[in-house]
Amino acid sequence: MQTHEIRDRFTNHFVNLGHTAVPSASLILDDPTLLFVNAGMVPFKPYFLGQQNPPFENGTATSIQKCVRTLDIEEVGVTTRHNTFFQMAGNFSFGAYFKEGAIKHAWALLTNPLEEGGYGLDPERLWVTVYLDDDEAAEIWEKQIGVPAERIQRLGMEDNYWSMGIPGPAGPCSEIYYDRGPEYGQDGGPAVDDNRYLEIWNLVFMQFERGEGDKKGNFEILGELPKKNIDTGMGVERVAAILQDVDNVYETDLLRPVIDAAQEITGSVYGEKHENDVRFRVIADHARTAMMLVLDGVTPSNEGRGYILRRLMRRIIRSARLLGATGATLEKFISTIMDTMTPSFPEIADNRERILRVSATEEKAFLKTLESGTQLFDETAAQVKSSGKTVVGGHEAFQLHDTYGFPIDLTLEMAAEAGLEVDMAQFDKEMAEQRARAKADNKAKKHGHVDESVYRDWVDNNPTEFFGYSDLTGESTVIGLVSNGQSVTSAQAGDEVEVILDATPMYAESGGQTGDRGRLVSGDTVLEVTDVQKIAKKLWVHKATVVSGGVELGQKITSEVDSAWRHGATQAHTGTHLIHAALRQVLGPTAVQAGSLNRPGYLRFDFNYTDQLSDAQLEEITLIANQAVDRNLAVNTIETSLDEAKKMGAMALFGENYGDQVRVVEIGGPFSIELCGGTHVDSSAEVGPVAVLGESSVGSGARRIEAYSGIDAFKHYSKEAALASGLASSLKAKPEELPDRIQSLTERLKSAEKEIQNLRTQQLLANASGLLEQAETIGTTTLVAVTLDGVSGADLRTLASDLKNRLAGQSAVVLLASVDGDKVPFIAAATPSAVDEGLKSGDLVKTFGQYVGGRGGGKPDMAQGSGSDVAGVDAGFAAVRDVLSSR
């Protein structure tokens, strides 16, 4: 049975039982605790936690969620069941059915005959586990389903108690396993062998709340949840491996074609050697994960999600090379996996070109890295060996990784080949330090300080009501004050304090738009608000300075948004939507948004695109955006469901949950439709001019457009005009003649410089015969050693070459140094007979260079260098004389 059909049967089974079918959320949800969605229940978290009411009829839902887990990346291909990307099919009950329902529904789907819509698995091969004291579940399995008692095993917290690994909903679970037969391992059920007995479905009975602790079951149960919920997860890939009767999850209909493609490209054969098989499987697994990540907007980078993507792509490339590939391989693998995945994920078709472009760019860069990194590694290894050591330092390995993007596993492998080890303890230490720095930086940047626990209570119990879309002032109550990360009850004039209000008109930084500025006023009390940040999407934190009076909990206060600030930020935000729309018109839909910033007068828009934009493209984007301003298009905001928004064609759907009410901002009907929580002008003319400053690269596969908006755009243009007219008047030309005039000036300057250079050379050479008079004889060799003033390295070369030619008939050495500002260029030249006698220019500049703090190199007949220590020139000459006389 094809994987696509396994998915369909799952959804149909639960829809027939009254569940709402919920589409998979993006792999990237706006959840700071997660890099990627890693379980089917993640998008439903707010309903389990009781933060939101589930919007599903019957309180039940079903989904097939895209998941990525990269913790076990080393296991990929080694075991038979580890995929970094997988599809988790689940059914969820929020207070509707509980254990009995969950067990019956799962069993029916697994064992119902094919013609009745089930998977037709042999019930005799199914085993189940339950939590130690969960008699209730055990009894349902035995009495109601008829699983014999010997195929029901009881396991402890580590195996059969599920939580998200953090405080929150938790509960005992019951897992269903499929016995793949004695050829896969020993008898005794899943408690004994989890390779032979393959876990295919986890039924979690979410009924408790857990406290702090770790993932492995060391945590306290705080009490019962108000509702008894069900969260289940069936591994689609594992069921596919069973139903397709293949050995492992890498050989199913979705991944096997990638293995075949890899055989073709590399010339190696799958199934011959375990070591190679692991590489084939890594390629198949990672190609899919990488493709799905790029699809959801991730681009390769050196941190966070982007780093994981980069690592996956690099592992594919390396595996292919180890299997024998020489050129580029990614395109083939990625396009193969796109073919197999598209029926279940039709959106791949629209993104094909973009995904291929991101992959190709990354591969090109990595192949270069491989080349330069290999050279660097060889140098490091040679140094280690020449100093009689056998261990490559952890610091060097870290630098190879950090500066040159050289993966540590590659360093390890190459070290082993060179008979060396790597100091991994030091490497790990430096990596950990770097990670900690990056993490602290990121958090600190956002919230001023790292620990958010101080806000927890307000986030849970008093989320802020925002009324700033319609009003810029309003009354509210101070419900919290935070100073230096501590909750306080009051603050006085001069204090900096974070103010939490029950309701606010002030926009908090989000969606790229900066937080509002403004004032909080109550009688004599005035606070200046310098920033507003949002915590956990729910709590508005006003960063403020108490200018006069004092503020305390419970105080009634009037909030006043700085309307000029807001106006500017709003113009910039609508301006960003105009640029985004214009960009897509010019570059096509593959230019996907990757980030943005809007502050008064300025906007920045990052998008995934690998090529540099031409001037003509930039001009066209600017024109389209300003034409939209000129047409004075109406800007409408519409609150609707995520589904409706998608139907309207809204862009930027990441980070939203099914069932969420979303805000759609529409400019001029189809011109621009985006999901956006920001503030916007009412009609496009209010944005004012949009002046694009230029575009640049921001890391692999992403580019940035920057622009001024509103009055700042006008100021920018008028400054440019003033600049042009100033230039024109000093060059006595009309502004439109400037380009030609400047070009002809530059050309004249160039030819004048050339002429000066010629004259200088002639002058130098005219002096050459004078220099010859200073020649001295040391042993059988003639030495011309002279210091000159203010002569460049290039001129020294001309002169040395001339002198050498003049002395060609004898054994002679020329050594010239010059004091040119704070530099000391120097050069040595040796005639053919001097070279024959073993006097090499390279050795002479090395000797000399030591005295002037410089280094140099070149060929035996001529070598050059540069130093910085003027005081050492004479000693340098003396040293060279010594070399000559000691021969």
Which positions touch ligand SER (CB under 6 A)?
39-41, 90, 162, 202, 204, 231-233
Smallest separation, CB 50 to ligand SER (Å): 17
CA distance 367 to 692: 35
Residue 163 or 513 having the CB closest to ligand SER: 163
Q: How far is the CB of 241 from ligand SER (least distance, A)?
A: 18
CB of 500 to ligand SER, least distance (A): 33
* Cβ proximity to ligand SER, 98 vs 307, nearer residue: 98
Q: To the nearest whole angstrom, how small is the minimum distance from the Cβ of residue 594 to ligand SER?
A: 29
**Looking at beta carbons only, is 41 or 579 nearer to ligand SER?**
41
**C-beta of residue 884 within 8 angstroms of C-beta of residue 783:** yes
Q: Which helix (H) or strand (E) holds 233?
A: strand 219-235
Residue 419 gets the label, from left (phi > 0), alpha (psi -120 to 50) or beta, of left
Closer to ligand SER at the Cβ: 231 or 362? 231
How far apart are alpha carbons 439 and 450 in whole angstroms?
9
- The least CB distance from residue 234 to ligand SER, in Å, is 8
Closer residue to ligand SER in complex, CB, 48/605: 48
3-state secondary structure of 404: helix
Task: Please compute, for residue 501, the number of CA atoms within 13 A of its CA located in the half-sphere on the CB side.
Answer: 29
Residue 249's Cβ-side half-sphere holds a number of Cα atoms within 13 Å equal to 26
The annotation status of 19 as a binding-site residue, yes or no, is no
Neighbouring CB atoms inside 10 A of 216's CB total 12
- Give the span between the Cα atoms of 190 and 197, in whole angstroms: 5
Q: Is 447 annotated as a binding residue?
A: no
Q: State the DSSP code for 338.
A: H
Name the residue nearer to ligand SER (CB basis): 63 or 684: 63
Residue (40 or 575) nearer to ligand SER, CB: 40
Reference 513, options 562, 573, 454; nearest CA is 573
Residue pointed to by tokens 């031409």:
614
Q: Which amino acid is at 137?
A: A
CB of 235 to ligand SER, least distance (A): 9
Find the helix or strand (DSSP H, E) in which 202 lies.
Answer: strand 197-213
Stated as kind and residue range, the H or E segment containing 291 is helix 274-295
Instruction: Give least dist CB 86 to ligand SER, A.
Output: 10
Helix (H) or strand (E) holding 64: strand 60-68
Give the C-alpha separation, 394 to 416, whole Å: 15
* Contact partners, residue 4, CB within 8 Å, separation at least 6: 343, 344
State the Rg of the chain over Cα.
35
Centroid of chain to Cα 314 = 14
Q: Which is nearer to ligand SER, 159 or 179 (CB)?
A: 159
Of 231 and 666, CB closest to ligand SER: 231
- Contact assessment for residue 340 and residue 259, using Cβ atoms and an 8 Å cutoff: no
Q: Which residues pair with 606 in a beta bridge?
A: 595, 704
**Is 82 labeled as ligand-binding?**
no
| Residue indicated by tokens 């590694």 | 377
Q: How many helices (H) and strands (E) does the chain have?
A: 24, 35
- Helix (H) or strand (E) run with residue 767 in it: helix 738-772
Distance of CA 138 to the CA centre of its chain: 45
**676 carries a ligand binding annotation:** yes
Question: Residue 602's closest CA among 634, 580, 569, 626?
Answer: 569
Closest by CA to 295, choosing from 11, 5, 647, 24, is 24
Tracing tokens 């689609």 back to the chain, one arrives at 236
Q: How far apart are CA 499 and CA 510, in angstroms?
A: 18
Q: Which residues contact 446 (CB under 8 A, 6 or more apart)?
A: 533
C-alpha–C-alpha distance, residues 565 and 561, integer Å: 8
**How distant, in Å, are the alpha carbons of 575, 774, 815, 856, 859 from that of 849?**
58, 22, 12, 7, 16
Q: How far is the CB of 27 from ligand SER (least distance, A)?
A: 15
CA–CA gap between residue 54 and residue 659 (Å, rounded):
8
Residue with tokens 């040391």: 778
The nearer residue to ligand SER, 201 or 848, going by C-beta atoms, is 201
Nearer to ligand SER, 204 or 687 (CB): 204
Closest CA relative to residue 148, chosen from 119, 118, 128: 128
* Least Cβ distance, residue 68 to ligand SER (angstroms): 13
Give the burial class of 296: count Cβ atoms within 10 A of its Cβ; 0-12 exposed, 13-18 middle, 19 or more buried.
buried
Please say which residue, 159 or 362, places its beta carbon nearer to ligand SER. 159
232 vs 329, beta carbon nearer ligand SER:
232
Query: Smallest gap, in angstroms, from Cβ of residue 603 to ligand SER?
Result: 40
Taking the least distance from each CB to ligand SER, the nearer of 233 and 825 is 233
**511, 676 contact by CB (below 8 A):** yes
Residue nearest to ligand SER (CB): 233
Residue type, 69: R
CB of 657 to ligand SER, least distance (A): 16
Is the distance from CB of 239 to CB of 278 less than 8 angstroms?
A: no
Q: Smaller CB distance to ligand SER: residue 236 or 539?
A: 236
Measured between alpha carbons, how far is 330 from 318 in angstroms, rounded to an integer? 11
**Distance in Å, CB of 165 to ligand SER, minimum:** 10
CA–CA gap between residue 317 and residue 262 (Å, rounded): 11
Binding residues for Zn(2+): 573, 577, 676, 680
